[in-house]
């Protein structure tokens, strides 16, 4: 690819991303071998990830007065239960949000004055959290809403190494037993994946890990083999369970990859960035 006007490419994030996408397509069509193609894609995505990290260093959110309507929020109560909602209005009275519902469409009860923690992500994929309390419940045309108190103590979450995207991909996973024999440099790891598959649904994914909704989660620090098809054919990865959150009728299992082929990682990068 010939670059005639570099300033035009690096002028905006959109132009730079379009250029990287074009470079990805060029590699797919003109790389001499598949091994060369995957190596060049890996270098390209390393650049794209570095650019993404730079993008996150922009304007920081410091108070809830800065939040805009239609922002998706995640609430966590004192019991550690998570609920998804959305910000509808932001004014001096507080934050008006949709009152969360359970899997049957019934409103989940919340006590006035109860303390909650709210999480959200901005357009540059930077995550934040703040603690607040429920001021009251509002009723309009048969719909229920919650009003949250404002906060000027928003803290940023650690930046994710890999950007992720929301998906809905069926998967199956298998518990993996890891046994270590020997010590020091002579130590060997024996990996055995059980034959009993456990059903799940991938809800978000990145080149570094994913989240699975399932009724049969594994415990934190356990290992799993995960099989799924993200549009490139059936792939398998090995992962460790980072944490598990209880949902209304299932669990959210968050995992980090410990072994995946370069081809699979490149495919997931392409999926997240919209290059595929």
Which residue in this structure is represented by tokens 């009993």?
Answer: 196
> What are residue 266's phi and psi, to 5 degrees?
-65, -40
How many angstroms separate the CA atoms of 223 and 13, rounded?
38
Residue 118 has a pLDDT of: 94
Mean per-residue pLDDT, 90-103: 90
Q: What pLDDT digit, counting tens, does each position of 24-78 carry?
A: 999 999 999 999 999 999 999 998 887 776 655 556 788 999 999 988 898 988 8
Residue 159 has a pLDDT of: 61
Residue 192 has a pLDDT of: 85
Q: Give the torsion sign (CA, 54, 58, 61, 66).
A: negative
Residue 182 has a pLDDT of: 74
Residue 11 has a pLDDT of: 59
CATH 3.40.630.30 fits domain 164-273:
no
Which residue in this structure is represented by tokens 């072994």?
Answer: 259
- Give the helix ranges, DSSP H, for the chain: 6-9, 13-30, 34-55, 262-273
Q: What pLDDT digit, counting tens, does each position of 134-160 carry?
A: 999 999 888 899 999 999 999 887 666
Strand-pairing partners, residue 144, are 139
3 state DSSP class of 19: helix
Q: What pLDDT digit, counting tens, does each position of 199-222 carry?
A: 999 999 999 999 999 999 998 889
The least confident of 78-87, 186-195, 249-258 is: 186-195
Q: pTM above 0.75?
A: no
How many angstroms separate the CA atoms of 228 and 236, rounded?
6
Task: Calculate the alpha carbon distances from 230 to 35, 44, 196, 235 in Å.
Answer: 21, 21, 22, 8
Residue 101 has a pLDDT of: 85
Per CATH, the homologous superfamily of domain 64-156 is: Electron Transport, Fmn-binding Protein; Chain A (2.30.110.10)
Structure confidence at residue 232 as a pLDDT band (50, 70, 90): very high
Mean per-residue pLDDT, 185-189: 74
Whether 9 shows a pLDDT value over 90: the answer reads no
Strand-pairing partners, residue 226, are 173, 237
Q: Domain-by-domain residue ranges, the chain?
A: 6-55, 64-156, 164-273
| Mean pLDDT of the residues in the chain | 87
pLDDT-above-90 percentage for the chain? 54
Q: Do domains 64-156 and 164-273 have the same CATH topology?
A: no
Q: What does DSSP assign to residue 182?
A: S
How many angstroms separate the CA atoms of 217 and 247, rounded?
11
How many angstroms separate the CA atoms of 212 and 168, rounded?
9
Higher-scoring residue by pLDDT: 265, 18: 265
Whether 239 shows a pLDDT value over 60: the answer reads yes
Mean per-residue pLDDT, 80-108: 88
Structure confidence at residue 12 as a pLDDT band (50, 70, 90): low
Structure confidence at residue 8 as a pLDDT band (50, 70, 90): low
**Residue 200: how many other CB atoms lie within 10 Å:** 25
Residue 62 has a pLDDT of: 85
Which residue in this structure is represented by tokens 């995992």?
Answer: 255
Q: What pLDDT digit, counting tens, does each position of 98-116 carry?
A: 998 876 788 989 999 999 9
Residue 201: Cβ-neighbour burial (10 angstroms; 0-12, 13-18, 19+): middle
Whether 253 shows a pLDDT value over 70: the answer reads yes
Based on C-alpha coordinates, what's the Rg of the chain?
22
């Amino acid at each position: 690819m010939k670059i005639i006007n570099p300033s035009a490419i690096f002028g905006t994030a959109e132009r730079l991303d379009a250029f990287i996408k074009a470079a990805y397509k060029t590699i797919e069509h003109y790389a001499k071998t598949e091994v060369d193609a995957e190596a060049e894609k890996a270098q390209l995505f390393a650049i794209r990830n570095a650019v993404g990290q730079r993008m996150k260093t922009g304007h920081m959110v410091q108070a809830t007065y800065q939040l805009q309507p239609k922002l998706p929020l995640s609430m966590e109560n004192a019991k550690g239960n998570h609920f998804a909602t959305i910000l509808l209005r932001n004014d001096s009275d507080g934050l008006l949000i949709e009152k969360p519902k359970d899997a049957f469409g019934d409103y989940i009860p919340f006590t006035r004055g109860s303390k909650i923690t709210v999480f959200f992500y901005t357009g540059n994929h930077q995550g934040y959290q703040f603690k607040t309390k429920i001021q009251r419940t509002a009723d309009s045309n048969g719909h229920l809403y919650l009003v949250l108190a404002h906060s000027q103590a928003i803290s940023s979450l650690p930046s994710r190494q890999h950007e992720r995207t929301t998906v809905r991909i069926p998967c199956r996973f298998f518990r993996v037993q890891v046994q270590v024999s020997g010590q020091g440099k002579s130590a060997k790891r024996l990996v055995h994946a059980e034959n009993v598959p456990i059903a799940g649904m991938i809800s978000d994914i990145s080149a570094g890990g994913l989240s699975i909704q399932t009724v049969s989660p594994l415990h934190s620090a356990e290992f799993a083999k995960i099989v799924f098809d993200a549009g490139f054919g059936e792939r398998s990865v090995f992962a460790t369970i980072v944490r598990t959150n209880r949902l209304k009728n299932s669990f959210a299992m968050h995992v980090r990859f410990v072994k995946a082929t370069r081809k699979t990682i490149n495919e997931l990068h392409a999926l997240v960035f919209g290059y595929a």
